[in-house]
Structure 1
Amino acid sequence: MGSAGDDGAAPVRLDPPERLSRTVTAWEGEAGRAWLAALPDLTAELLRRWRLTPERVLAAGGQISMIVLVRDAEGGPAVLKVGLVNRETDQEHAALAHWDGHGAVRLLAADPGQGALLLERLHADESLRSLAEPRAMLEATDLLRRLWVPPAAGHPFTSVADFTGELAELLARRRAEPYAADARALIDEALAARAGLVADSAESFLLHGDFHHGNVLAGDRMPWLAIDPKPKVGERAYDLAWLARDRLATLAAQPGSRAAARRRITSLADALEVDRDRLRGWSLFRAVEAGVWYLSVGGREDGELLLEFASWL
């Protein structure tokens, strides 16, 4: 196949994979369908502009982004990521640029307005989930130490306080919905925990925002690198809360799940010198908020599992 940037070459049309179409349609409705319809033309334009030759679309790619393995004009391997731009993803490029490959995938080019990123090629089929949990947690905590750096002056990132303030307002409104009836006590506890946490937080680090084993891939220049940040600025316990509930289905299936979840909170807090109570509070809020969101979009199984985890804390 000739390069998509070659003169006279036919435009390359790449259709979104089924998983992407399904999740974007379920989560974003009509706006998601419109974005999906425009995605093949947008991707073709990016291939032409950045002189990329597509190899294949990753069927298992992102939930709100299309991932294309490509070759650049010199034949080097890279990844084209074209994602739906929203309040969580619109600063991904800025975080990757700030980290500049230290602990995270290297950004090669970006068109933020179109949600387009050209990234170094990692091993998409080898995440931290390929490791046994104890080893994966050690690698994950080591990587977080590199990612947690001060943001630059005048940075564009949303603060944890502001972002979770919006989420708290939505959660309070969803509390009245029939699907949330059984979760109202947990919702009240989560909202109170969040209010206390933002009232006295003094830390200001650049955070990944969506850090879990699946978002850490094997690389060539470093053993493990983070991908897919949804960056925020704030305290480290907020970032660690996602990791605290990693492999949740496995955790829930084992005997003594409640005690195991609490031990994990303690272990992660001690390993990264984060206050245990603050990690517990953010883990509670983030699990409840995500669980109720899943209920709101019809994802009852995922929602109930997250709320069960929150009840253990």
Structure 2
Amino acid sequence: MGPDGQRWLDDLPRLVGELEQAWGLDVEGRGLPGGSASWVGRARDADGRPRVLKIGMPGHDLDDEARVLGLAAGRGLVGLRAHDPGRNALLLDELGPSLEAAVLPVEEKLEHLAAALTLVWEIPASALTPPGPGEDKASTLTRLVLDTDTRLGHPTPPAVLDLALEYAARRVAAHDPDRCVVVHGDPHPANALSTAPAPGDDGLAYRLVDPDGFLADPAYDLGVVLREWTGRLGERPRERLEGWCTLLADRCRLDAQVVWEWAYLERVSTGLHVLDFGAERMGRRFLDSAATLLTGR
């Protein structure tokens, strides 16, 4: 956390108290579990309605998240009720348990994620600034994979690294700013929380939280959706994952091979990323699973 983080933590009770006064809230004293870069706690507004207060840590600016949530206006994403840039705080609708915790078949979970994402992708792309040259998602992931693999002493199996870079090069070559949409950026099941259906969202059962919100190929979001599920791949992992790629691609009217390429690149880049911050077992799990997917090529 460092000195800045500790000062922020020490100052957190004052921040919460000021926001209670500014927004007419009654905030529970104990924060919710799961936040890695923010304090998140339950609250009730002046009318007794359940809300969630989110306060970003130093270095974790919530302005971009607030902008995307405001543009979405609750379609596919959690509803935003207020934003205080000076205190780096958001007031959000309270949602229910996560899709990760739901006892559902994988295919049904994928359908729920796709339903929310297709609404997120309707946010006008013109509202965000396009990535500059070399800053599209595939280019940044290429650099992440190469730099991290080198710095960590080449933990990635050579065949896995070669395939990830091949897919990354294809996605760089295919990048078309005119076909980019506003993507969530991190739509894993723990970021999908249950919700009551609302008018205009086709009976949506889950809304997404914590959007990164940038312009990219919509198939990128589906690749993120599929980067894990390692424990559910079974004895024929490639066949199973290809089936899920097809399911999502058909549901979202995208190309299944493109979804596969993003999913593989995300699996490898995420493995290296988590290895880099010291989660050896989790990182190896991602990279080992990427190696098992080489069979059947």
Contact 2:52-2:92 at 8 Å conserved across structures: yes
SS in 2 for 1:245: coil
Inter-partner Cα distance in structure 2 for 1:87 and 1:160: 25
Aligned to 1:3: none
The counterpart of 1:122, out of the listed 95, 120, 123, is 95
Deviation per residue, 1:113-156 (Å, 9 max, x gap)? 54311001111x34354041222222222222222115253524
The counterpart of 2:124, out of the listed 139, 146, 151, is 151
Q: CA deviation at 1:105?
A: 1.0
Contact 1:161-1:234 at 8 Å conserved across structures: no
Inter-partner Cα distance in structure 1 for 2:27 and 2:85: 21
Q: CA deviation at 1:293?
A: 1.0
Normalising by structure 1, we get a TM-score of 0.79
SS in 1 for 2:135: helix
Aligned to 2:271: 291
The counterpart of 1:191, out of the listed 156, 160, 165, is 165
Q: How does 1:40-59 map to 2 (within 5 A)?
A: 40-59=13-32
Aligned to 1:261: 241
Q: Which runs of 5+ in 1 are unaligned?
A: 1-24
SS in 2 for 1:78: strand
Contact 1:127-1:213 at 8 Å conserved across structures: yes
The counterpart of 1:306, out of the listed 277, 280, 286, is 286
SS in 2 for 1:95: helix
Aligned to 2:195: 219
SS in 1 for 2:75: coil
The counterpart of 2:12, out of the listed 39, 44, 54, is 39
Contact 2:38-2:60 at 8 Å conserved across structures: no
Task: Give the direction of change, closer, same or farther, for the CA distance of 1:187–1:281 in structure 2 (3 Å limit).
Answer: same
Contact 1:211-1:243 at 8 Å conserved across structures: yes
Task: Give the direction of change, closer, same or farther, for the CA distance of 1:31–1:242 in structure 2 (3 Å limit).
Answer: farther
Inter-partner Cα distance in structure 2 for 1:188 and 1:305: 18
User: What one-letter code is carried by the residue in structure 1 that aligns with 2:242?
Assistant: R
Aligned to 1:109: 82
User: What one-letter code is carried by the residue in structure 2 that aligns with 1:279?
Assistant: V
Equivalenced residue count is: 283
User: What one-letter code is carried by the residue in structure 2 that aligns with 1:260?
Assistant: R
Aligned to 2:175: 201
Q: CA deviation at 1:307?
A: 1.4
Q: CA deviation at 1:204?
A: 1.6
Percent identity between matched residues is: 29
- Coordinate RMSD, CA, aligned: 2.8
User: What one-letter code is carried by the residue in structure 1 that aligns with 2:79?
Assistant: R
Normalising by structure 2, we get a TM-score of 0.83
Inter-partner Cα distance in structure 1 for 2:130 and 2:70: 13
Q: CA deviation at 1:245?
A: 2.9
Contact 1:241-1:282 at 8 Å conserved across structures: yes
Runs of 4+ in 1 over 6 A off after TM superposition: none
Q: CA deviation at 1:234?
A: 1.6
Inter-partner Cα distance in structure 2 for 1:239 and 1:264: 14
Aligned to 2:144: 170
Contact 2:5-2:58 at 8 Å conserved across structures: no
Q: CA deviation at 1:96?
A: 0.7
Deviation per residue, 1:277-296 (Å, 9 max, x gap)? 21122112212111101111
Inter-partner Cα distance in structure 2 for 1:119 and 1:52: 12
User: What one-letter code is carried by the residue in structure 1 that aligns with 2:219?
Assistant: A
Inter-partner Cα distance in structure 2 for 1:292 and 1:95: 28
SS in 2 for 1:176: helix
SS in 1 for 2:111: helix
Task: Give the direction of change, closer, same or farther, for the CA distance of 1:59–1:285 in structure 2 (3 Å limit).
Answer: same
Q: How does 1:2-81 map to 2 (within 5 A)?
A: 25=1, 32-81=5-54
User: What one-letter code is carried by the residue in structure 1 that aligns with 2:102?
Assistant: S
SS in 2 for 1:61: coil
Aligned to 2:232: 251
User: What one-letter code is carried by the residue in structure 1 that aligns with 2:25?
Assistant: L
Task: Give the direction of change, closer, same or farther, for the CA distance of 1:219–1:178 in structure 2 (3 Å limit).
Answer: closer
Q: CA deviation at 1:70?
A: 0.4
Inter-partner Cα distance in structure 2 for 1:264 and 1:37: 46
Q: Which runs of 5+ in 2 are unaligned?
A: 199-204
User: What one-letter code is carried by the residue in structure 1 that aligns with 2:54?
Assistant: K
Once structures 1 and 2 are overlaid, which stretch shifts more, 133-142 or 170-179? 170-179
